[in-house]
Amino acid sequence: MISVSHLTRTFGSLRALDDVSFEVSKGEVVGFLGPNGAGKTTAMRILTGYLPASSGSVRVAGFDVLTQSIEVRRRIGYLPESVPLYREHRVVEMLEFQARLHAIPRKERASRIEAALEQVGLTDRQRDLVGNLSRGLRQRAGLAVALLPRPEVLILDEPTSGLDPMQRLEVRGLIQGLSAQHTVLLSSHILPEIEAVCRRVIIVDKGRIRADGTPDELVTRLAGASHVRVEAMVGHDVEAALRILRSIRGVSAVNDRGRLGIHHQFELTCDEDLREDVGAIAAARGWALRELSWRRPTLEQIFARIASGASDEDVKPSAANPRSVGVTPMPSLDAPVQISIGGTVPVGGPKSAPSTAVGAGPAPARVVYNLNPFDRGASRSLSRPKAVEDPDRDTPGAPSA
Amino acid sequence: MSGFLAIARREFAGLFLGPLAWTLLTIALLLQGWLFVLYLKTSGGDVDISLRLALGESWAFWALMILVPPLITMRMISEESRSGLLEFLLTAPVSDAAVVAGKFVAVLAFMAILCGTSLVYGVAVASLGVAPDWGALIGGWIGAVLCSGLFAAVGLFASALTSTPVVAAFAAVVANLALVTAPLLGGLSDQLFVRRAVARIDVLDHHKSAFLAGVLDTSYFVFFVAWTIVFLFLAVRAVEARRWR
């Protein structure tokens, strides 16, 4: 449906697109992912015929974008990021204008407009002035305008930018609904957006395509090694524990991350999920497991690596995607153990960041492990290991500094 | 073709959905009406002379011609390029020429209404018993519309060159002023070829000596149409050039 080959576009000395080639077949939903300024919008503008390419060729639905521009434009529904609509017109008038531009027969106009309004859920707001609509509604109106000619290809540039989370969900749902009837190409710099909607992702950066495939494929292909993290009470013979862990088939390296209270933490580098193996060994050796989790880099981290042009090191698994099993203590019971919030805020310090204010008590809190900040029980103090003592706690959950 | 009509229709409707068109119409009507009464008084009640003044012999007429079309056209391309609407139009299945032509026809229709108020004066004096020279009146109106078309084409060209409406309006007013005053300046020259060259772009003379006299001379007609097309062509090119920037 869309075929781009060796597309290059320069603005003066800037190469906005550099030898970009890709194909999109009918019915695909493809996400263009890249940081701001990567060339997403330029690529889309070339696809829609708004900008000419410096070199290379683009065909949409079999027509060349440069020489058969009008034919291509007839088949494309394009929603630019700015959602251009005439503010002084009503929603329905805007749709009528679009219907005339696309030469939709007069007889069909009313029913088609009604259908488009229904599709985006704007039927009851059709008499509103476009200028009075909220950002989310405007986005929907823009989508209705793009959908009205029933285009074969739908090109959406940052369709969720500037929307609040609820509106974003709505628009996302709308786009998912569209994928049945249209070939959709959408761009975003927000990864979850793309992951939620698109079955295929093209990552662009600095005008070049860095990766192309389904999100899962990209993760498998680009992620490299995954890690199993073990935190357990292994006794004093750490060396023995290390030896045992190294002996597990599939483990390429074990990283001793040191002692945390009475527990010891290891990180196993491996290609697959070895949690069961580690769990079995822990059970056999009688280690009290505290954490056993498997992390692989998320698409987000791969994206970040590509975008920053950094080395593999940056794609180290983090806690963004923890799949913990095992004997993790229930966080609700001993939950926020540390980081006393009631401490003194430094004079002149920002009040909006109380979590950085460390308690002024005798033993300043030390963050020991930093899980996902949205997890309960985010951090613990080394100075008061939970299992050993804590007699002076007044109320559960209310930490004393 | 349908795209061109759709754009012309939307632009025309869009003009009247904003305050600018109404304001300009009001000011123009007040000025023209007041001056027409004044002309009638000073000419001792000569309806034909008054109508000639209202349709081309007076400074007020040319001031309106120079000022109003650029003010109408200033936003048409420059602001749309800034708000992204031009992107919408240029990715719709219509040619660049149709976009520019659609906008031009909308301004032309607006100017036809504005100039058409003089016809109302004709009807008014006719109903009072003094029939004006209808040929001269209608010819003058056609000439005035053609003049404003030329100035609007200049305005559209200026609007396509910049993304700031005020700059577009200013540039167009200056260009229109140059167009109108060139014959006056050219007349100062001793050189024959300068005078001849200037006569080729003499908007004032072409309007006054034919249309205002009630003569629909095709060569004079072509004069306006040709210059208008030149500026519209430049405007289309300027819009196209935006794609490369």
Does the structure show a pLDDT above 90 at A351? Answer: no
Given A281, A313, A328, which residue is the final one in a domain? Answer: A328
Q: Please give the average per-residue pLDDT across A176-192, as a whole number.
A: 84
Domain boundaries defined on chain B = 2-244
| d(C-alpha B159, C-alpha B232), whole Å | 11
| d(C-alpha A338, C-alpha A341), whole Å | 9
* Assigned token pair, B138: 């209608």
Given A284, A304, A328, which residue is the final one in a domain? Answer: A328
Of A144, A151, A149, residue with least CA distance to A104: A149
Q: Please give the average per-residue pLDDT across B91-120, as a whole number.
A: 92
* Of B93 and A309, the one with more pLDDT: B93
- 3-class SS of residue B220: helix
Arithmetic mean of pLDDT over chain A = 76
Q: Which residues of A fall within a CB distance of 8 Å from B3? A: 100-101, 103
Q: Please give the average per-residue pLDDT across A325-341, as a whole number.
A: 37
- 3-class SS of residue A18: strand
Could you give the C-alpha distances from B116 to A169, B109, B112, B140, B150, in angstroms and in order? 54, 10, 6, 10, 17
Where helices occur in A77-180 by DSSP H, the ranges are 91-101, 106-120, 135-147, 165-178
* Assigned token pair, A306: 């590509």
Q: Which residues of A fall within a CB distance of 8 Å from B9? A: 100
Minimal Cβ distance to A78: which of B83, B91, B243: B91
Do both A199 and A105 map to the same domain?
yes
Characterize A8-44 residue by residue with b for buried, 16 or more Cβ atoms within 10 angstroms of its Cβ, and e for exposed: bbeeeeebbbbebebebeeebbbbbbbbeebbbbbbb
Q: State how beta strands A2-11 and A14-24 pair.
A: antiparallel
CATH number reported for the structural domain that contains residue A188 in this entry:
3.40.50.300
Does the structure show a pLDDT above 50 at A322? Answer: no
Q: Please give the average per-residue pLDDT across A75-86, as a whole number.
A: 91
Minimal Cβ distance to B84: which of A80, A101, A103: A80
Do both A116 and A202 map to the same domain?
yes
Do both A106 and A229 map to the same domain?
no
| d(C-alpha B217, C-alpha B195), whole Å | 22
The residue among A100, A108, A153, A161 with the most chain B CBs within 10 A of its CB, best to mutate, is A100
* Of A101 and A234, the one with more pLDDT: A101
pLDDT band at residue A340, thresholds of 50, 70 and 90? very low
CATH number reported for the structural domain that contains residue A316 in this entry:
3.30.70.260
Q: In what order do the strands lie in the sheet with A76-79?
A: A76-79, A153-157, A183-188, A29-33, A200-205, A208-213
Task: Find the chain B residues whose C-beta atoms sit closer than 8 A to any C-beta of A.
Answer: 2-3, 5-7, 9-10, 13-14, 17-18, 80, 83-88, 90-95, 243-245
By residue range, what is the domain housing residue A257?
225-328
| d(C-alpha B239, C-alpha B161), whole Å | 8
Do both A126 and A250 map to the same domain?
no
Does the structure show a pLDDT above 70 at A266? Answer: yes
Biggest CA-to-CA distance, chain A: 84
Of B199, B179, B180, residue with least CA distance to B189: B199
Do both A274 and A143 map to the same domain?
no
| d(C-alpha B17, C-alpha A93), whole Å | 12
A–B CB contacts, 8 A cutoff, strictly below: 71
Given A286, A308, A328, which residue is the final one in a domain? Answer: A328
Angle formed by the axes of helices B2-17 and B19-42, to 10°? 80
- 3-class SS of residue B133: coil
Does the structure show a pLDDT above 80 at B66? Answer: yes
Of A323-327, B5-9, B44-48, the poorest mean pLDDT is in: A323-327
Q: What percent of chain B has pLDDT over 90?
A: 55
Do both A65 and A183 map to the same domain?
yes
Q: Are A64 and A57 in contact (CB under 8 A)?
A: yes
Minimal Cβ distance to B94: which of A51, A84, A101: A101
CB contact under 8 Å between A101 and B92, yes or no, is yes
CB contact under 8 Å between B84 and A52, yes or no, is no
Run of H or E residues at A289: strand A288-295
Could you give the C-alpha distances from B4 to A101, A123, A317, B98, in angstroms and in order? 8, 28, 57, 5
Do both A373 and A265 map to the same domain?
no
A260: closest CA of chain B, how far (Å): 57
Q: State how beta strands A288-295 and A323-325 pair.
A: antiparallel
Task: Find the chain A residues whose C-beta atoms sit closer than 8 A to any C-beta of B.
Answer: 11, 45, 48-52, 70, 73-74, 76, 78, 80-86, 88-89, 93, 97-98, 100-103
Do both A61 and A128 map to the same domain?
yes
For A144-239, strand residue ranges (E) read 153-157, 183-188, 200-205, 208-213, 226-233
Q: Please give the average per-residue pLDDT across A285-289, as a whole number.
A: 86
How many domains would you assign to chain A?
A: 3
Arithmetic mean of pLDDT over chain B = 90
Q: Please give the average per-residue pLDDT across A108-126, as a whole number.
A: 91
CB contact under 8 Å between B83 and A84, yes or no, is yes
Do both A51 and A198 map to the same domain?
yes
If one counts every other C-beta atom within 10 angstroms of the C-beta of residue A316, the result is 15
B13: closest CA of chain A, how far (Å): 9
Q: Are A73 and A91 in contact (CB under 8 A)?
A: no
* Assigned token pair, A307: 């975008």
* Assigned token pair, B105: 């026809």
Where helices occur in chain B by DSSP H, the ranges are 2-17, 19-42, 47-52, 59-83, 85-90, 96-127, 134-161, 165-186, 192-200, 203-209, 218-244
Could you give the C-alpha distances from A336 to A109, A231, A353, A356, in angstroms and in order? 61, 19, 17, 14
Q: Which residues of A fall within a CB distance of 8 Å from B83? A: 82, 84
Q: Which residue has the tokens 């529904």?
A: A77
Does the structure show a pLDDT above 50 at A323? Answer: no
B64: closest CA of chain A, how far (Å): 26
Do both A53 and A195 map to the same domain?
yes
pLDDT band at residue B207, thresholds of 50, 70 and 90? confident
* Assigned token pair, A378: 């985010």
Do both A276 and A159 map to the same domain?
no
* Assigned token pair, B28: 């123009």
Phi-psi domain of A326 (left: phi exceeds 0; alpha: psi -120 through 50; beta: other): left
Q: Output phi, psi for A292, to 5 deg.
A: -145, 105
* Assigned token pair, A155: 């090109």
pLDDT band at residue A235, thresholds of 50, 70 and 90? confident
What's the alpha-carbon Rg for chain A, to the nearest Å?
Answer: 27
Do both A63 and A43 map to the same domain?
yes
Q: Beta partners for A204?
A: A209
Does the structure show a pLDDT above 50 at A7? Answer: yes
* Assigned token pair, A344: 């003194």
Q: What percent of chain B has pLDDT over 70?
A: 100
Does the structure show a pLDDT above 50 at A363? Answer: no
B159: closest CA of chain A, how far (Å): 18
pLDDT of residue B216: 86
